[in-house]
Amino acid sequence: MYIGVVASAAAGLLAALLLDGGSVENWPGVLGLAAIAAVGERGRINLRGRLDVSISLLPAILAAVLFGPVAAMIVFGASVFGLTIPLAGRIAYLATRALTGAAAAGSAAGVVAVMAGGTGAIIASSAAAVLCAEVLDSAFAGATHRLRGNGSWREAAAELFPVIVASVPLYSPAVALLVLAYREVSPWTLPLFFAPALAAQRWFLMYQEQQRLATDLQGANESLTAANLSFAKGLIATLDARDKYTAGHSAAVAIYARDIAKRMDLSEPQQSLAHLCGLVHDIGKIGLPAGLLEKPGALTLDERREMQKHSEIGERILANVATYSEIASIVRHHHERVDGQGYPDGLGKSEIPVLSRIIAVADAYNAMTSDRPYRDAMPSRVARLRLAQAVENQFDTSVVAAFEAILAGADEDYRLARSDDFALSSPGVEPKAEALPALAYSRG
């Protein structure tokens, strides 16, 4: 019904204008403005929700002021060719835009007739055409949204009124200047204006798309991070079924490793990676012989050699996960020593990944301050002294110094990994990256 009414009104008005002698005197100019309107509408920019804007209204209003109602209906209607909408929508859009163009041209002509020409008349007629076009365009848009059930008239008015208020003072002087330039300078001033205007609209559209893609990428990265953490927790839960100590130890080392990385001013991605590597650093223990992890007493030399294989087993497990290749390498080397006497590869300080060096310190400290069946936990001050004594032999001095600075300012619950933050499954608490027990101070 609505489409039939507006389409009939537009067709009837155009016929009446043609019968009354209306015509287009400058077809090249009108067609040029029509093309600009179509291109401008195709590059419309979404400001918020259902509110889109483009520069297509500017050439259309210019046609209304320069060339009269028939030309205005053509240029206003031409913007429909910049849209990809269903046929019914195209008909309604073409009709309402044509009616808006004719009304804008009539407003401009009326002002010129009253003011009898001159620069003042051009300015006033341009303002009248802009105001008329904006009001009618917004009214038709509001009616369309209301008929589609997308909101009430009041909601549409609240959304569109600020657009009218902003557009009239913006478009009016622009249209007036273009009219003056066209008449007093040269018709070729129009492409000199619209070419950069279309380029600017296109640039802003590309900027919006870049921002959208950046937001989508950030969301994807956050989802991947969450998936990585869930996967790591799943691995640790599997290991926990064999060794109850390891899961809690992994959560503690994760926190310490993350905090050390932060203290050393590593990037946030590196801090997160330290956290994740800490969680899975002992996963290779899943592949150790039955009874070895569960043994209540001290290990024999052969058993220690078997235990040392867990870092290589962990690397093999993690290397099978597509996004875990870097994590696999860090896990492999978390028992290397800076003096080259570590395992499995005997790497020197410069060859050991920095996160492996961080995990080694966090791992050793938590192992020393935890109760085990074969020994009691050390006090924090004693474990810190052991770390200091092993710098530049077993541990990297800069890592130990960063950790000591953290522990010096922490409370006893943090030093002994007893707060809720150290629980692997604490609700609302992000697990922190952990490190493995150091070579000289733990079984691992």
Is it true that the peptide bond before 344 is cis, omega within 30 degrees of 0?
Answer: yes
Segment 81-101 shows an average pLDDT of: 80
How many alpha carbons lie under 13 Å from residue 260 in its C-beta half-sphere? Answer: 33
What pLDDT does residue 52 have?
62
How many other β-carbons are positioned within 10 Å of the β-carbon of residue 21?
7
Segment 54-62 shows an average pLDDT of: 80
pLDDT band of 200, cuts 50, 70, 90: low
Segment 251-268 shows an average pLDDT of: 95
Averaged pLDDT score across all residues of the chain: 81
Segment 135-156 shows an average pLDDT of: 73
How many whole angstroms separate alpha carbon 367 and alpha carbon 375? Answer: 11
DSSP 297-331: SPPPHHHHHHHTTHHHHHHHHHHTSTT-HHHHHHH
Report the run of H or E that residue 56 belongs to, with start and end.
none
The answer on pLDDT for 361 being more than 90 is: yes
The answer on pLDDT for 135 being more than 80 is: yes
265 or 299, greater pLDDT: 265
For residues 233 and 279, the answer to whether their CB atoms sit within 8 Å is: yes
338-356 pLDDT tens trace: 999 999 999 999 999 999 9
The domains found in the chain, sorted by start residue, are 2-187 (1.10.1760.20), 223-422 (1.10.3210.10)
How many whole angstroms separate alpha carbon 97 and alpha carbon 111? Answer: 21
How many whole angstroms separate alpha carbon 252 and alpha carbon 246? Answer: 10
- Name the percent of the chain lying above pLDDT 90: 28
What pLDDT does residue 347 have?
95
278-293 pLDDT tens trace: 989 998 888 888 788 7
What pLDDT does residue 429 have?
34
pLDDT band of 388, cuts 50, 70, 90: very high
Of 126-135, 221-230, 374-383, minimum mean pLDDT range:
221-230
What pLDDT does residue 171 have?
79
392-436 pLDDT tens trace: 999 999 999 999 999 999 999 999 998 877 875 433 334 333 333
What pLDDT does residue 204 have?
54
pLDDT band of 263, cuts 50, 70, 90: very high
- Name the percent of the chain lying above pLDDT 70: 77
What pLDDT does residue 136 have?
86
The answer on pLDDT for 311 being more than 90 is: yes
Report the run of H or E that residue 169 belongs to, with start and end.
helix 153-184
Report the run of H or E that residue 53 belongs to, with start and end.
strand 51-53
What pLDDT does residue 435 have?
33
Segment 64-87 shows an average pLDDT of: 82
The answer on pLDDT for 105 being more than 50 is: yes
How many other β-carbons are positioned within 10 Å of the β-carbon of residue 431?
25
DSSP label at residue 79: G
Most confident of 64-68, 168-172, 363-367: 363-367
What pLDDT does residue 241 have?
60
